């Protein structure tokens, strides 16, 4: 029996583990893919206050090691079921079950797809959702980046140092990214733009050979590229916990800044929670709030 079970080993979950351990609670963190979460795919983290610029992987390693050094147990495993008992919560990972008195949901979010025919079949054959993971496969080739936010601009900047040409495809004429990222992209000679366009088709069967672009006026043309990096936002995967924590219309946990859910003893933290801004700083803040709230709730039991 653990004091606190944490689902998700990203910034929110690991920060929660650190705070809970410092409060003397026993903690188990369960992560289904990679400790550190999506930040592991970022080639550079330079906006975390007081921390020198470092790769996302280095940041994730440091955070994971900090939680482990404080005594938090961390295990790989995808939680497939969650159940509330009379005095605890039970999580199922394959054929194993783990029991805890309180539960923190820090499940994060995943990359949103374009939803085009053939997209899934071309993943790993030209379609990617991680520039830092797959960019090296497209050295000296022409690629496209779909999206207009910070993640899209950062992906384009990273790829511009590897690929011969990068085209940013964005459905609007203006970017949603921070001006610093826009300015940096504008300064790269091998970054081009297809603004006011949507990607409406993927070309190629065995491998990607290009994309179909459709303008706001309905005009279509083809862009010949060997790689497409999709950066059009995120979406949560919280349905397995909907009976414990209510979801908003976007599928995010309906929990406020106090991280409280509809179920006493269950707290939501990080990108999986309904919020206005999803950044490392807000994930860390959620983790500290959720852990502190969980500890106070345990004190009252």
- Which has the closest alpha carbon to 8: 36, 42, 40? 36
Q: Rounded to the nearest 5°, which phi and psi values hold at 223?
A: -115, 120
Helices (H), the chain: 11-22, 56-69, 131-134, 150-160, 179-186, 280-299
- What is the token pair recorded at 236? 């949560």
DSSP strands (E only) in 68-219: 73-76, 81-84, 89-93, 96-105, 110-111, 127-128, 142-146, 165-170, 191-195, 197-203, 210-215
Report the alpha-carbon distance of residue 6 to residue 102 in Å, rounded: 9
Do residues 198 and 214 lie in contact, with contact meaning Cβ atoms separated by under 8 Å?
Answer: yes
**80 is written with which tokens?**
């497939």
- Catalytic member of 3, 61, 120, 130: 130
Query: Which residues lie across from 73 on neighbouring strands?
Result: 28
259 flagged as catalytic:
no
Catalytic residue of the set 133, 183, 248, 258: 133
**272 in active site:** no
* Active-site residue flag, 130: yes
Catalytic member of 3, 61, 120, 134: 134
- Rounded to whole angstroms, the Cα distance separating 272 from 11 reads 12
Which positions are annotated as active-site residues?
130, 133-134
């Amino acid at each position: 029996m653990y004091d606190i079970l944490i689902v998700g080993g990203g910034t929110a979950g690991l920060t929660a583990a650190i705070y809970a351990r410092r409060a003397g609670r026993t903690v188990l963190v369960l992560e289904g893919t990679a400790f550190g979460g999506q930040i592991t795919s970022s080639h550079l983290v330079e906006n975390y206050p007081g921390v020198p610029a470092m790769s996302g992987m280095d940041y994730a390693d440091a955070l994971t090691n900090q939680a482990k050094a404080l005594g938090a147990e961390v295990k790989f495993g995808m939680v497939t079921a969650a159940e509330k008992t009379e005095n605890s919560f039970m999580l199922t990972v394959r054929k194993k079950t783990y029991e805890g008195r309180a539960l923190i949901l820090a499940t994060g979010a995943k990359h949103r797809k374009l939803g085009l025919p053939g997209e899934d079949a071309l993943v790993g054959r030209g379609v990617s959702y991680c520039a830092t993971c797959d960019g090296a496969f497209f050295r000296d080739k022409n690629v496209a980046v779909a999206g207009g936010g910070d993640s899209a601009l950062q992906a384009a900047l990273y790829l511009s140092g590897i690929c011969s040409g990068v085209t940013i495809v964005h459905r609007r004429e203006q970017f949603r990214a921070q001006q610093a990222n826009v300015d940096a992209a504008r300064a790269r000679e091998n970054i081009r733009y297809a603004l006011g366009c949507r990607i409406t088709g993927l070309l190629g069967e065995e491998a990607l050979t290009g994309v179909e672009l459709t303008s706001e006026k309905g005009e279509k043309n083809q862009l010949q590229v060997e790689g497409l990096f999709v950066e059009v936002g995120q979406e949560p995967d919280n349905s397995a916990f909907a009976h414990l924590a209510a979801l908003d219309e976007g599928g995010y946990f309906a929990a406020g800044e106090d991280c409280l859910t509809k179920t006493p003893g269950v707290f939501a933290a990080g990108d999986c929670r309904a919020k206005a801004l999803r950044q490392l700083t807000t994930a860390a803040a959620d983790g500290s709030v959720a852990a502190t709230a969980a500890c106070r709730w345990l004190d009252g039991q």
